[in-house]
Amino acid sequence: MDSVKKIGVSLAFGLVCHIAGAEQPRDWDRASGVMAVGLPVLAGMVTVARQDTQGAQQLALSVGSAVAASEVLKRTVHATRPDGSDQRSFPSRHAAVAFSAAAFLDQRYGQEYKAWVPAAYGVAALTGVARVESDRHRWVDVLAGAALGWGSTRLWTTPDAHARTSSRLSVLPAPGGLAIGWAAVF
């Protein structure tokens, strides 16, 4: 498991360095791609390191259904991207994938990886920020993608029998927007 932690720390360090130098929309676009791929890869590596076949299946179902739902909505809604490149802005598939992977780590292994859960949600949120900064999505696109990813994982993923979940992500309506909270027992 130490190798997975080292890879995760290396990925996070490289990502922070890349984003720190992001000035152009294409830099943000690349960073969002790295995060949207990196989080599910990291979650998959955890399932492999733990030899958790059921977890791997649940991760695949969670991310796969988030991608499928976002594609169906993209082809149905036809929202023009802020940069005008096409009509596939709503919802953000990058946010759906990132939040699905973060929610998987929370739901499946939250008790054992308490310190990783806020970091995973932080990277997922940064993925959404990067999509807006790259001029590829609006905030509503990102929030919809995040909801799809989080919801698909809640649908398909059960806590690991050896690692009970001790944290919860809450999204509630608030005056002028949404209130997002994360609580954990340490």
Give the per-residue pLDDT at 177.
64
Q: Return the sign of the alpha-carbon dihedral for residues 34, 65, 99, 47.
A: negative
Give the per-residue pLDDT at 169.
62
Q: Return the sign of the alpha-carbon dihedral for residues 32, 35, 40, 44.
A: positive
Give the per-residue pLDDT at 165.
45
Q: Which residues does 160 contact at the CB level (< 8 Å), separation at least 6? A: 50, 52, 55, 108, 109, 112
pLDDT at 73 over 60: yes
Q: Mean pLDDT throughout 100-110?
A: 94
pLDDT at 20 over 60: no
Assign 3-state DSSP to the chain and report helix, strand, coil percentages, each to 5. 65, 10, 25
pTM: 0.78
Specify the 3-state DSSP secondary structure of 169. strand
Domains identified in the chain, total number = 1
Q: Mean pLDDT throughout 37-43?
A: 92
Q: What range does the domain containing 75 cover?
A: 2-184
Give the per-residue pLDDT at 186.
47
- List, for residues 62-72, the tens digit of each pLDDT value: 999 999 999 99
Beta-bridged to residue 168, according to DSSP, are 183
pLDDT classification of 116: cutoffs 50, 70, 90 = confident
